[in-house]
Amino acid sequence: MSASGTALPLPNDLEATWSFLESGIDQIMNRLEQGLSYKRYMDLYTGAFVFLEVIHYQVVCNFEGGIYNYCTSSRMNPGFASEPLAGPGSNINNNRGANLMGSDLYARLISYLERHLTQIRAESEQYMDENLLRYYTKQWEKYTTASSYVHHVFRYLNRHWVKREIDEGRKTVYDVYTLTLVSWRDNMFSAVQHNVMDAVKMLIQRQRNGETVETGLIKLVVESFVSLGLDDADSTKSTLDVYRDHFEKPFVEATQNYYKTESEKFVSENSVTEYMKKAEARLLEEEGRVQAYLHPTTFKNLITTCETVLVKDHTDIMWDEFQNLLNMDKLDDLHRMYLLLSRIPDGLDPLREGFEKHVRKAGHSSIEKIAAEGADANMEPKTYVDALLEVHKKYNDMVQNAFRGEAGFVASLDKACREFVNRNEVCKSSTSKSPELLARFCDSLLRKSAKNPEEGDLEDVLNSIMTVFKYVEDKDVFQKFYSKMLAKRLVNGTSASEDAESSMISKLKEACGFEYTSKLQRMFTDMGLSKDLNDQFRDKMDKDNEMSHVDFSVLVLGTASWPLQPSTTNFNIPEEVEKTFQRFKMFYQNKHSGRKLNWLFHLSKGELKTNYIKASKTGYTFQVSTYQMGLLLQYNKETSYTFEYLKQSTDLTPDVLIGQLGTLVKAKVLLMEVKSEQKVEVEETHKTVEEDRKLLMQAAIVRIMKTRKTLKHVTLVQEVISQLSNRFKPKVPDIKKCIDVLLEKEYIERVDGQKDMFSYVA
């Protein structure tokens, strides 16, 4: 007898034991909030082997003593031999008896849960819509909480009988808590899930329509559906099958139908830009919906469906609107369109194509505008380069801001810029006009001038020049013009800054490699060596007491590195400098035997001090070319000469003599017509470019054939183009001519019987 006068059931009495347990289970499932008194708890606990883990869970442990006594009884079945009872701390256990007793209790528990849930299901029929959700979620929370307590009550059953049954492969046996979920799924969920989902879909639709709803109800329904995903093949595992089949699938279908109807109606009544704002907002809402109350695995299926309905099904109207947004520079709307269309496969392809065409058209229009303002031959390099850069900057900013620097749009921008940089209105007169003007702009920046930018600003401008340089196809043309102009700056001492010169060469080296700038760097080396050489010559003159009234300095420049053309005329050195000139030649030959000095008098200059103008106390100092110096020094003897006399005394050709006299006439020293030399120089530069290209193509052909030994004509042409494309774009007819030259020189030969096959001649 217990202290309260209630007798504990005998261990071998099934009916009494279950009646004792059922009353407690029923209180847990229906009146858990009432709890049990401590005295009652102690009465139920008597004889049990479990101990309380938390005093608050009294009711969990009230019945375990009875379960233990019943499950371990072997006397329930008369057919079993009487053996000592297995109690706490005992190593004796009647497995067959425990197995039978466990099965009985398990079956009684299943029957109880079925009756309990049948009653709940019947009560649910009086509710609909949101009220049904409230009832369902309330009962779900109450049921699962109570089930966890019941699970603890049957811990002994779980540890022994249930575990043994599962280990032996029984698929229909679960631990007690899982059993309660299976029972809810089979007796409650299967009957109400359609109505519950209809209520969920209606609640979400109200939320999409702008109403404030109780999202916690949806979250609890989701948790319920997820919890009911039990693996029939393995009772110890769970799946998301119930959630996917009964929640996610109908929910996504409802979402698709909702947005299909809404988007079609909205598009018919609003502009494309307004629709994009709507679609963007809806996608963000659905992403937030997953975070708020849906299972994370729903994200991909839900968002993909929304993207299809809201974006993919309306791509045509967005593609059609793209050009209008470009025309009006609507960066925000372009960015929004980019984000939407980037969500779907191939959604950005038409945008990239349209963007490329738009940029190409903008570039051509910009150049046409400046070309219309002046003749191509007199095109101001700065005006031309600034026009190119303005277009590039505008659309590069658009790529970075509106299109997030996406690689496809970067490629479209590059392709469009390459097109209008190399083939525009100005380039009609010459395909090499862009690299020439770019080189001239560099020259204007790097040459001494009051208009030059500050050092920091100059570096920015040089960087912008490299932006245009990147798109120039005929980089060898740029190199030719740049090297000629650099040579002039160095020879004439007109470089604005050695640091700026070095910076520009470093940029070119980074863009095209060491070979591209090797000659440019060698020029600076020669300038340094020349300075040392002049210092040594002066020291030698001082040491030998050979003082001269002439301040004489020489630049000794390597022929292979400097793009300097030899003089086209003879020249008699004036007697005033002849002695010093001969002394330097002897000095250099003694220092470097075997080297030959080729004097480029047409690039030399000198200073002459005059005193013939009476208005000046000290006279004027003329900065003149060496040829002009030779002419003016004649007038130390006489005040007038015939043209023939000057020609004979200086040994200059008539054309050169006329040009030099013309400059002096313009300076109001002498009289003669002025002749422009720039056009001739430009033509000569282009001519040297063509000659260099022939040599480069021939070298490439030999290099390829030496490696490959035999090669078809078409493949050889393709490989030559590939190897030289970073310098210029070789033309196929030019390559064929070079092949013919090499065939004639017997570097390569045709393979017998194969007209289009060549082999290398070792």
Decide if 707 is inside a domain: yes
Same domain, 694 and 554: no
Same domain, 732 and 744: yes
Burial class (CB in 10 A: 0-12, 13-18, 19+), 743: middle
Distance CA 72, CA 460 (A): 91
Residue 673 has pLDDT above 70, yes or no: no
Residue 498 has pLDDT above 70, yes or no: yes
Burial class (CB in 10 A: 0-12, 13-18, 19+), 360: buried
Banded pLDDT at 219 (limits 50, 70, 90): very high
Per-residue pLDDT tens digits for 386-401? 999 999 999 999 999 9
Residue 369 has pLDDT above 70, yes or no: yes
Distance CA 243, CA 649 (A): 108
Between 36 and 283, where is the model more confident? 283
Cβ-based neighbours of 731, under 8 Å, separated by 6 or more: none
Write the CATH number for 627.
3.30.230.130
| Secondary structure (DSSP) of 170-212 | -TT---HHHHHHHHHIIIIIHHHHHHHHHHHHHHHHHHHTT--
pLDDT reported for residue 43 = 37
Q: Which two tokens stand for residue 609?
A: 């001090």
Alpha helices in 403-449 (DSSP H): 407-422, 433-446
Within 656-747, strands assigned E span 710-712
Q: Which two tokens stand for residue 555?
A: 């630049």
pLDDT reported for residue 235 = 67
Start-to-end Cα distance in the chain = 117
| Separation in Å, CA 326 to CA 321, 337, 414, 712 | 9, 11, 17, 47
Distance CA 3, CA 539 (A): 128
Per-residue pLDDT tens digits for 507-562? 999 999 999 999 999 999 999 999 999 989 888 888 877 666 678 889 999 888 99
Same domain, 53 and 193: yes
Same domain, 212 and 312: no
Decide if 121 is inside a domain: yes
DSSP letter (8 states) at residue 747? S
Q: Specify which of 247-256, 600-609, 676-685 reaches the highest per-range mean pLDDT.
A: 247-256
Decide if 33 is inside a domain: yes
Q: Are 556 and 529 in contact (CB under 8 A)?
A: yes
DSSP letter (8 states) at residue 752? T
Smallest CA-to-CA distance from 692 within 502, 500, 474 is with 474
Same domain, 751 and 663: no
Decide if 290 is inside a domain: yes
- 3-state SS assignment for residue 712: strand
Same domain, 38 and 142: yes
DSSP letter (8 states) at residue 495? B
Write the CATH number for 579.
4.10.1030.10
pLDDT reported for residue 616 = 56
Distance CA 735, CA 716 (A): 9
- pLDDT above 90 covers a percentage of the chain that reads 45
Banded pLDDT at 345 (limits 50, 70, 90): very high
Banded pLDDT at 665 (limits 50, 70, 90): confident
Pick from 302, 322, 342: which residue ends a domain?
Answer: 322
Decide if 619 is inside a domain: yes
Write the CATH number for 751.
1.10.10.10
Q: Are 482 and 441 in contact (CB under 8 A)?
A: no
Burial class (CB in 10 A: 0-12, 13-18, 19+), 144: middle
- 3-state SS assignment for residue 760: strand
Q: How many domains does the chain have?
A: 5
Decide if 690 is inside a domain: yes
Task: Name the least confident of 79-93, 97-111, 135-149.
Answer: 79-93
Same domain, 626 and 643: yes
Q: Are 382 and 444 in contact (CB under 8 A)?
A: yes
Same domain, 217 and 254: no
Bridge partners (DSSP) listed for residue 376: none
Pairing of strands 621-625, 754-760: unpaired
- The chain-wide mean pLDDT, for the chain, equals 83
Decide if 399 is inside a domain: no
| Separation in Å, CA 215 to CA 85, 137, 142, 439, 602 | 54, 12, 19, 68, 90
Mean pLDDT of 402-427: 95
Q: Are 555 and 493 in contact (CB under 8 A)?
A: no
Per-residue pLDDT tens digits for 460-469? 999 999 999 9
Q: Are 259 and 306 in contact (CB under 8 A)?
A: yes
Task: Name the least confident of 221-230, 388-397, 452-461.
Answer: 452-461
pLDDT reported for residue 73 = 52
Element (DSSP H or E) covering residue 332:
helix 331-341
Domain that holds residue 221: 14-225
Same domain, 115 and 172: yes
Three-point CA angle 318, 323, 327, nearest 5°:
135
Element (DSSP H or E) covering residue 749:
strand 748-751
| Separation in Å, CA 184 to CA 32, 67, 188 | 18, 24, 5
- 3-state SS assignment for residue 547: coil
Smallest CA-to-CA distance from 102 within 158, 181, 53, 54 is with 158
Cβ-based neighbours of 91, under 8 Å, separated by 6 or more: none
Per-residue pLDDT tens digits for 54-99? 222 333 334 445 555 555 553 333 332 333 323 333 333 444 444 5
DSSP letter (8 states) at residue 91? -
Within 558-633, strands assigned E span 605-609, 621-625
Residue 279 has pLDDT above 80, yes or no: yes
Q: For 164, what's the count of Cα atoms within 13 Å in the CB-facing half-sphere?
A: 11
Per-residue pLDDT tens digits for 687-715? 777 888 888 888 888 888 888 888 888 88
Mean pLDDT of 26-47: 56
Cβ-based neighbours of 53, under 8 Å, separated by 6 or more: none
Three-point CA angle 118, 123, 125, nearest 5°:
100
Mean pLDDT of 146-162: 82
Same domain, 708 and 671: no
Distance CA 531, CA 36 (A): 108
Cα 230 to chain centroid, rounded: 44
Residue 571 has pLDDT above 80, yes or no: yes
Pick from 618, 646, 675: which residue ends a domain?
Answer: 675
Per-residue pLDDT tens digits for 194-215? 999 999 999 999 999 999 999 9
| Separation in Å, CA 635 to CA 44, 313, 579, 631, 640 | 138, 90, 20, 8, 7
Distance CA 440, CA 481 (A): 8
- 3-state SS assignment for residue 238: strand
Banded pLDDT at 118 (limits 50, 70, 90): very high
Same domain, 37 and 107: yes
Write the CATH number for 210.
1.20.1310.10
Distance CA 274, CA 266 (A): 9
Banded pLDDT at 280 (limits 50, 70, 90): very high
Q: Which two tokens stand for residue 186?
A: 């089979």
Between 368 and 541, where is the model more confident? 368
Pick from 573, 602, 631: which residue ends a domain?
Answer: 602
Q: Are 308 and 300 in contact (CB under 8 A)?
A: no
Distance CA 694, CA 435 (A): 19
Same domain, 551 and 636: no
Distance CA 724, CA 516 (A): 12
pLDDT reported for residue 45 = 31
Decide if 391 is inside a domain: no
Q: Which two tokens stand for residue 193?
A: 């899930």
Q: Which two tokens stand for residue 688?
A: 């040297």
Smallest CA-to-CA distance from 694 within 646, 730, 744 is with 730
- 3-state SS assignment for residue 7: coil
Instruction: Report the predicted TM-score, pTM, of the whole model to 2 decimal places.
Output: 0.74
